[in-house]
Amino acid sequence: MKHPIQQKIENLRDTLHKHNYEYYVLDNATISDYDFDMLLKELQALEEAHPEFADENSPTQKVGGAVTKNFETVVHKNRMYSLDNSYSKEDLLDWEKRISKIIEGEITYTCELKYDGASINLTYENGVLVKAVTRGDGVQGDDVTANVKTIKSLPLKLQGDFVDNFEIRGEIILPLDGFNQMNLAREEAGEEIYKNPRNTASGSLKLQNSAEVAKRPLDCLLYQVLTYNNEFTSHAQALEKARTVGFKVPETIKVVSSIDEVVAFVEYWDKARFDLPYETDGIVIKVNNIRQQEELGYTAKSPRWAIAYKFKAEQVSTQLLQITYQVGRTGAITPVANLEPVQLAGTTVKRASLHNADQIALHDIRIGDEVYVEKGGEIIPKIVGVDLTQRPADSLPTLYATHCPECNTPLVRKEGDAKHYCPNEYGCKPQVSGRIQHFISRKAMDVDGLGGETVDLLCDVGLIENYADLYALTYDTILNVEKAYDSEVSGLVYQNKLQITIENAIFGLGYANVSKRLASLLASKIEAIQDLLHTEYTLEPKDAEVLGKFKRIFKHRYEIVLKQNLSEFVALKGYVSLSDFLILKFNGKEKGANLFDTSFDELLNASKQIKYVDELKSIAVFEDKYEKFNETISKIANRRVVGIRETGAKNIIAGIKASKQIPFEKVLYALGIRFVGETVAKKLANAFKNLDALFAADFDTLIAVDEIGDRIAESIIAFKNEPLNQVLIARLKEYGLQFSLSEEVLQNQTDTLSGKTFVVSGVFHKVSRNELKKLIEDNSGKVSSSISKKTDYIIAGDNMGPAKLQKATDLGITIISEDDFLEMV
């Protein structure tokens, strides 16, 4: 018999779980907020007085309080795939045609909104939440259970009977009203506002104190249930049942039976989405029947049974100020448009991809053009056109870069390639750093404690030149290594003058202690900094007082500048030149004191040559005065000191040591062989078992491996023949990395099914479809998604489609049962 206090605590928990569900999921509160708070306080007091009756899924957990300094990385039991995108009815018809070749009979679809937030995978056991893991890279993510438990609409304990053990996936979002309220509070506190709900929701999950997460009005919308014993026949049925036990499954989901109905759903929500309380960027269409989903399976990246329809991206126009060029880890050159900052889909866009020389030529994109910008798939900004009516009369065609912007090596472009490349593979800094960053990445060597910024630091100070050098690092060699990085003041050089954004100039001038938030607000309404003197603003009293003081100081300084004819203030729209800024900052002090011994003409001429802040130190006019305005320049430049301290040094060395246990297929991927991605690396590792065998294989042997084509084979041969790579591999072997499959993996692998192709169809009971496919591959067989003359066996489970059975019979293909197959292996 339970203790009376324990029974009271459990009754209170059940009551509060029920009220949470009614309020946050059903939107139908049956008690007042005050009464709810009183019950919660009563429960908290009882739990504190009787810790022996603690429950990690008590409603009191929604208040938060747990502190997580490091989020544990967890491998997903079921991989979280990304979705293929579509943008038209034709794309959807093509998708329907592809899946109809694999499955037979009637197909129904579910249509649901594509929520714009942070994906989460939740694990429930015996009706209670036990783990919440972010999507991460799809294979593994971060354990954020303590933070997710604070989300009011998410049940910690289910309200009724459901599957005993299951996973459920959803999107953690920040509703627009809550997001706006958060920003109002931040504005009042003089803090920088959040840019958009999506990034804020995602960032909330990684806050270290769950009590802070609890203060944020996060919500969780669920969209997929994964069970282990096929408890549901359809996706819609699973979600409907999930809704009844406490999960917030949106009512907008709809089951349809044709692509025309899908299109009608898309067209409706393309307009109605703006009335939703949260952001959405498209529609997700899924095959509803779970058996058909299993039949369709997955590609290397996406489920075949689902596709996303993306709404047309928002488009704005702005001025193209400059074209710069970036170098990737493979040497690929990407042209980047530097734009006059503009608001687009909730973020400030300053840069956009121009893709390659062909795209620039196609649109005849030129510096100074008014260009149309949109976010491709609502994520990466891109230029999609030019407003030729706004083109300046003196406009000149863009001449694409001929030399690498980093190492000045002449660029090359092979026939058939869209991009130009820098061939200085082992001497070009971004390529060197990029290969090391790829090597340490999560899908590769997964070196904890090391990130791109730290890799750049270690390269810059000469401690590493390649990924093998990582294993020679010691705690003592990296402790307190640091470097100061000065970005260009505004990231823009125009007509050989460094330009500062007006927002940063107002903040950097510091008159009347103007805040970054207020500086941003003031800059949003003016095109030149002197416009401040005659622009009216509607501000809160506190801000109005600051602006009044700012204007008085600015007017005084500006008049001195005009009297001395020191500057014309003819700056680019939205910018101030560095020389103008320095004059306003350091001239016109009390009694007209001048911080500089030299003339302002000399200062003006010197500033024309300044490109990076560090160069100020070497310019004679600033030699003795640098420290006096170093802090100001650093503010504007976002000057950063990157360093490795005691804890960081320990974590890096521990991460490098732990990476020696990473399995062979990931090491192979980490080497960065061109065209050898994650999936190809696994196939090669399974085919050759170790690196020596792989590198001993000739061209014909390589292309004989399933899905290994000419380009991959040629790339492997080129990599192994490079003398520097041979040295690196030899060093990595000495350091103890895994260059062969482990004994444990090899024990589970045979050549029993070598040369045989299998199709898996139907529902199975002893092992899952995925386990069957893994058994085929572990025994050197090939899994195919469709029946053809090349198919050797069909493993038939329950409910195998009659058309598939007929096709197999017509082609004379052997049909075996689950038991038959298990006997084979």
- Residues belonging to the binding site are 33-37, 82-83, 112, 135, 171, 286, 310, 404, 407, 422, 428
Cβ contacts of residue 271 below 8 Å, gap of 6+?
A: none
Q: Which token pair is 207?
A: 């806050």
216, 186 Cβ separation under 8 angstroms: no
* Residues comprising the chain, all counted: 825
Using H for helix, E for strand and C for coil, what is the string for 242-259?
Answer: HHHCCCCCCCCCEEECCH
Q: Give the CA angle between residues 749, 730, 671 to the nearest 5°.
A: 65
814, 793 Cβ separation under 8 angstroms: yes
Whole-number Å distance between alpha carbons of 399 and 474: 47
266, 310 Cβ separation under 8 angstroms: no
Whole-number Å distance between alpha carbons of 103 and 803: 9
List residues forming the annotated binding site for Zn(2+): 404, 407, 422, 428
Would residue 573 show up in a list of annotated catalytic residues for this protein? no
Report CA 538 to chain centroid distance, whole Å. Answer: 37
Whole-number Å distance between alpha carbons of 613 and 490: 11
Kindly name the residue from 2, 8, 114, 617 that is annotated as catalytic.
114
Whole-number Å distance between alpha carbons of 506 and 5: 62
Q: What is the dihedral of CA 299, 303, 308, 313, to 10 degrees?
A: -40
Instruction: Please tell me whether residue 213 adopts helix, strand or coil conformation.
Output: helix
323, 399 Cβ separation under 8 angstroms: no
Q: Give the CA angle between residues 164, 167, 172 to the nearest 5°.
A: 135
- Beta-bridge mates of residue 793: 758, 814
Q: Give the CA angle between residues 347, 352, 357 to the nearest 5°.
A: 170
List residues forming the annotated binding site for NAD(+): 33-37, 82-83, 112, 135, 171, 286, 310
Whole-number Å distance between alpha carbons of 226 and 239: 10
Over its C-alpha atoms, the chain yields an Rg (Å, rounded) of 31
Whole-number Å distance between alpha carbons of 426 and 755: 40
Neighbours of 528 (CB within 10 A): 15
Instruction: At 800, give phi and psi (nearest 5°).
Output: -65, 135
Amino acid letter, 531 = D
Instruction: At 772, give phi and psi (nearest 5°).
Output: -60, -45
Whole-number Å distance between alpha carbons of 132 and 227: 16
216, 182 Cβ separation under 8 angstroms: yes
- Which sequence positions are flagged as catalytic? 114
